[in-house]
Amino acid sequence: MYCLYCASGVRHEGTTVLNIFNDYDYNRSVITIVASIDSIREAILCACEKACGLIDMQTHTGVHPCMGAVDLIPIYPLGEEVRAEDCTKEALAVAQGLTERVQGTSAFLFGWADFPLQRGLAHRRKEMGWFKKTPDLRAIRADVGPQPQKRFGLTGVGASPYVMNCNVTIDTQDVSLGCSIAKAIRESTLGGLPGVQVLALPHQGAVEIACNVESVKGNLPDHLTAGEPWPSFSIGGESYCHAPASLITARVAELAGRQGVSMKGTALVGFTPRDCRGLAEYALSQGIAEFWKEQRRIRM
């Protein structure tokens, strides 16, 4: 695994690949790398170099929006000893390092790394045209690196509290119905779920309600959480919580059911924040570099 080894072939200590998610329809992979704050930068950059050598955005196709050969690099703190400032420093170094190591790459910044505005990922993606079918790279001004080029596109690099990915599939091919459900549950809609950003996409003959579940600072009042306790954690003494997958699933099922459409299932891309930290601690303590190969056996 390319992110686990340096150019000389020596393995990066204190680094593990926790999960690898691949999707054919989306033509997209999500790789979860966990490392100490001192090792994470090099692990990420090694993976990016490999990806940029393999992926040409001029020929890339897929139903999921995408702007870069490396589309997104979010850095999250898992341990109490890791501060927001530490992740911000590493995100900025990764953005700079990527554009230096792979000539022609460029990046935009989000979250804590987007100082002083600290705009969220969805906000920055909208500014960059990420949601458009064919973004106009000529109209984009990157935060780091040159004008985005067709070969590599544009990479989002940032730091933030943990973001969970929860995908709920409904048994229909009507994407417009999926879009109406996505709109109803997303944070920006009155009555939507705090921290939840949503897309509706065609997927394997059905429609997937793909949710980025951002962590929200503080404890939310009951009328916003539907009375269900939200999982919580802390970063630097600050409390955060996130919408549980069960609540998102129930809300989608309710809205789809009103239209006579049933659910097909719910899947997490990766882990909840609590699971991610627990599995990371286990994998690193046991020296398991490629935990993604082991996790099914260990978690059964």
Work out the number of other CB atoms within 10 angstroms of the CB of residue 261: 20
Write out the residue range of the structural domain in which residue 186 sits.
163-269
Query: Are 211 and 146 found together in one domain?
Result: no
Query: Are 103 and 20 found together in one domain?
Result: yes
Query: Are 41 and 155 found together in one domain?
Result: yes
Tens digits of pLDDT across the chain (300 residues):
556 655 555 566 789 999 999 999 999 999 999 999 999 999 999 999 999 999 999 999 999 999 999 999 999 999 888 999 999 999 999 999 999 999 999 999 999 999 999 999 999 999 999 999 888 999 999 999 999 999 999 999 999 999 999 999 999 999 999 999 999 999 999 999 999 999 999 999 999 999 999 999 987 766 666 677 899 999 988 999 999 999 999 999 999 999 999 999 999 988 999 999 999 999 999 999 999 988 755 543
Query: Are 138 and 28 found together in one domain?
Result: yes
Domains identified in the chain, total number: 2
- Answer yes or no: is 141 within a domain: yes
Which of 159, 181, 209 is the last residue in one of the domains? 159
Looking up residue 234, the CATH number of its domain turns out to be 3.30.70.670
Report the predicted TM-score, pTM, of the whole model to 2 decimal places: 0.93
Query: Are 109 and 148 found together in one domain?
Result: yes
